[in-house]
Structure 1
């Protein structure tokens, strides 16, 4: 079903939601992982909810009111999210917490039903700007609200909760933890089941700092800024059990066939994307991906820690090798990069941030992909049940570092038009490159189907 271009949204003026009770007036430093250059971005997420037969379903129950009150209660526990960031010496980020600040909240109504937005719901959502209003002056990193949330009611009784968050304050797991707490409070709990833990000092550099591992993800930026954002097209691609099995059948080594879906899809997409970009055979190509490091530390980080605890291991080869070798080759590089992440790797990365002034990630030629399928967004329940779609709103967020445009791709959970569960891959590319990518991906999948049909 073709998605509706949503235009009939009536928004009220954005307002601040402040903590429901007095909070500590403090100045808190972020960790040396939090405040790196590559995380100084704002990223939008979106959750769609239908008007199901849940205990909140009633003509007298307004999701806007319920969620706004729950946010106010949640900020008592997560009060740093109501603050504002500033820089200290050496660009160190500090969050100022005062009782007068809060997060931005927008109430809205749309003259459509949830079904009119598309079946199944799949990003990219062309109407995102209507469901998540870019409040003027709110999109900076310093001195701006750390969260912007818009709740939009639909005519059918469903609604959407869209939010934009400052990545320096938390990673995806941390944001999902906060939203889960909001949902619990909306459903009547007095406090979150998981208590938030700040303790950003746990992920600060050692004294003295020392880099003991190789961190190619922070190599010098390339000078090619890539395609302007307005020249990009945005697509999502579905990988279900059939697609994954078709790819597994192409793996020469049987032990590789037991690999995780992330590794297999990333190897496949990295190869197809590199071919689509038409790079020279001797040009280096990289794939970077966040890895949750909470269980890499000994002891593990405390339950409830909601700061950034992620590494960005990197696989590197040449375009010629990646595009001419069997799929096993790319898969092996991805799997080995993940294995690099240890506690020593994390400590070394943190020390590098301090020694090199918090450098940005590799440049525009790099393929940066993040897996958001299992971090909890789909379980967020404000009283109307789980979301129809939950996760990233679209790919292709541009971040300009020294005239280099950074683009991000994502995996999200979703369904296809046959109502089958699977993974959605969100990608942004120039139009010509996107057509080549689609053709290359179909070739890989069809080759796998051909193998299956001859077994």
Structure 2
């Protein structure tokens, strides 16, 4: 597949009345949650069947949406005190128009691959916080690739903007609801602080130079990505096996995702393995509550840990219980404790840095995207028929993808070393293999 870029331009907000709203601030300070997440861009691709809106309509819709979500037209910078902020300077987002020399059907299945990375603009060395690319295929299908800076918003925040872009392109009237940005009052630390949990070694660590070098995998062993589809029947059986006997309700569908003990052949005996699960704070924080329309980051991570022996020797229910307990601990008190610790002078005095998000063998990172209304995006010609993450293959990353339909099935995107992927493919549809391999069952971390 050859992608030809036809144009690349900066699109700036277009305001009703021609001028930006009168405001007392020209910057949004990054919250403690913004600062602890990835300091990098994240990409995804939406695929659409024809008919398609013209690029001029998409560009105009983007400009109107950024008049509501001004942060995506801004830039990262610092305020007078040296604190990191999002500058509301209307510098604009990048809008790329491109064509492909093939029909979309010729590149199926649409797995994350170096080839499909060309459907998204690169965020490397770019100051723009949002970059989008509209790619037209010879079959008249089209793809919209987005590359957005993670410190501006988490998955729900980014999805809210995308839905607003669709509404603005359709011309569906005033944007409702309006995004909420009040980081200062929602995430204000207690006085005096109430640090009730340990956050050193969890969200914050000493710089790597002080904790020693970390072995890197053999470069000759490539990492590959594979998407597994689990039928409603398979999900139902997994829920049944993972639920405690006599439980009033079985483990939820989102608890039954697919990260098998993927380090097959790599981890043995008493080796510890950790599952790092993204946990959405919106439904958990209560004092004060975080509005559903909050547009920034509100994510921490549950990190259940066990040994390979335990994982192999105990039933699936044991893994499910470990994960359920770990996620339950990341509650309102934990989020508030994190705010107080991250806002204290301990981080600066001890020269702590955010824990690196990339995991290393034998650990697993899980991001549950099922609670994000990805398929509500509509530019006026219908919703996408598929959404995929777009990134270089990362070993140990598992994404539970948002469902296109509500039939109870689920898709799970898994990144593994090439030598482990063949084994994973052989066992992932066998309930016996899942139990024998000590499958890790995913908690409903989005709510």
Alpha-carbon distance between aligned partners in 2 of 1:164 and 1:394, rounded to the nearest angstrom: 10
CA 1:47–1:180 in 2, change beyond 3 Å: closer, same or farther?
A: same
Partner of 2:445: none
In 1, distance between residues paired with 2:192 and 2:243? 46
Report the number of matched residues: 411
**Displacement of 1:13:** 3.7
CA distance in 1, matches of 2:265, 2:177: 44
Aligned partners of 1:225, 1:88: CA distance in 2, in Å?
A: 38
Residue of structure 2 equivalent to 1:308: 297
Distance 1:226 1:320, change over 3 A: farther
Residue-by-residue CA offset, 1:57-103 (whole Å, 9 max, x unaligned): 6xxx51x211111110011111111111124699842111214x111
1:352–1:88 Cα change, 3 Å: farther
Matched, 1:218 2:203: yes
Hey, what's the Cα distance between the residues in 2 that align with 1:367 and 1:378?
A: 27
**Shift of the alpha carbon at 1:249?**
4.9
How many angstroms apart in 2 are the aligned matches of 1:333 and 1:41? Answer: 31
1:278: Cα distance to partner?
Answer: 1.9
Distance of 1:277 and 1:91 partners within structure 2: 48
Query: Does the alignment pair 1:132 with 2:123?
Result: no
| Distance in 2 of aligned mates of 1:318 and 1:212 | 27
Measure, in 1, the Cα distance between the counterparts of 2:318 and 2:13: 52
| CA RMSD, 1 decimal | 2.9
| Residues 294 and 190 of structure 1: CA distance in aligned 2, closer, same or farther (over 3 Å) | same
Per the alignment, residue 107 of structure 1 pairs with 97
Write out aligned runs for 1:332-411 (5 A).
332-354=321-343, 355-356=346-347, 357-361=352-356, 363-365=359-361, 366-394=363-391, 396-397=393-394, 408-411=397-400
Q: Which structure carries more helix by proportion?
A: 1
Q: Does 1:318 align with 2:313?
A: no
Deviations 1:320-353 (A, max 9, x none): 2112211111111111112112211111122333
How far does residue 157 in structure 1 lie from its aligned partner after superposition?
A: 2.4
Does the 8 Å contact 2:240/2:250 carry over to 1?
A: no
In the other structure, the counterpart of 1:181 is: 164
TM-score, normalised with respect to structure 2: 0.83
- State the partner residue of 2:275: 287
Q: Which runs of 4+ in 1 moved over 6 A?
A: none
| CA deviation string 1:404-451 (max 9, x = no partner) | xx85321114689xx987322111121112223333424436689xxx
Instruction: Give the direction of change, closer, same or farther, for the CA distance of 1:415–1:171 in structure 2 (3 Å limit).
Output: closer
Secondary structure, aligned partner of 1:14? strand
**Counterparts of residues 2-401 of structure 1 (less than 5 Å):** 6-7=1-2, 9-21=3-15, 22-23=19-20, 26-36=26-36, 38-52=37-51, 61-62=53-54, 64-87=55-78, 92-99=83-90, 101-118=91-108, 122-134=110-122, 137-138=125-126, 144-201=127-184, 202-215=186-199, 217-218=202-203, 220=205, 223-227=213-217, 231-251=222-242, 253-255=244-246, 258-265=250-257, 269=259, 271-274=260-263, 276=264, 278-298=266-286, 299-354=288-343, 355-356=346-347, 357-361=352-356, 363-365=359-361, 366-394=363-391, 396-397=393-394
Partner of 2:419: 432
Structure 1 unmatched runs, 5+: 1-5, 139-143, 398-405, 449-455
Deviating more after overlay: 177-186 vs 283-292: 283-292
Cα shift readout 1:112-158 (whole Å, capped 9, x = no counterpart): 2232232xx543255223211326632xxxxx111110011122322
Aligned partners of 2:197 and 2:334 also within 8 Å: yes
Partners of 1:41 and 1:277 lie apart in 2 by 32
Structure 2: unaligned runs, 5 residues or longer: 436-447
Q: 1:226 to 1:326 in 2, by over 3 A?
A: farther
For the residues of structure 2 that align with 1:89 and 1:337, how far apart are their CA atoms? Answer: 40
Separation (CA, whole Å) in 2 of partners of 1:389 and 1:291: 24
- In 1, Cα distance between the equivalents of 2:291 and 2:430? 46
How many Å separate the matches in 1 of 2:97 and 2:89?
24
CA contact (8 A) 1:243 1:445 kept: no
Aligned counterparts of 2:202 and 2:47: Cα–Cα separation in 1 = 34
| CA–CA distance in structure 2, aligned partners of residues 239 and 317 of structure 1 | 26
For residues 347-368 of structure 1, what are the alpha-carbon distances to aligned partners after superposition, in whole Å with 9 as ceiling and x for unaligned?
1122333433452147523311
Structure 2 CA distance for aligned equivalents of residues 243 and 442 of structure 1: 8
Paired with 1:199 and 1:237, the residues of 2 have a C-alpha distance of 39
Q: Alpha carbons of 1:87 and 1:427: their partners in 2 closer, same or farther (altered >3 Å)?
A: farther
- Deviations along 1:288-308, whole A, 9 cap, x unmatched? 111221122224222421111
1:414-453 map, 5 Å: 422-444=409-431
2:408 and 2:219 map into 1 onto residues whose CA distance is: 31
* Contact 2:372–2:402 under 8 Å retained in 1: no
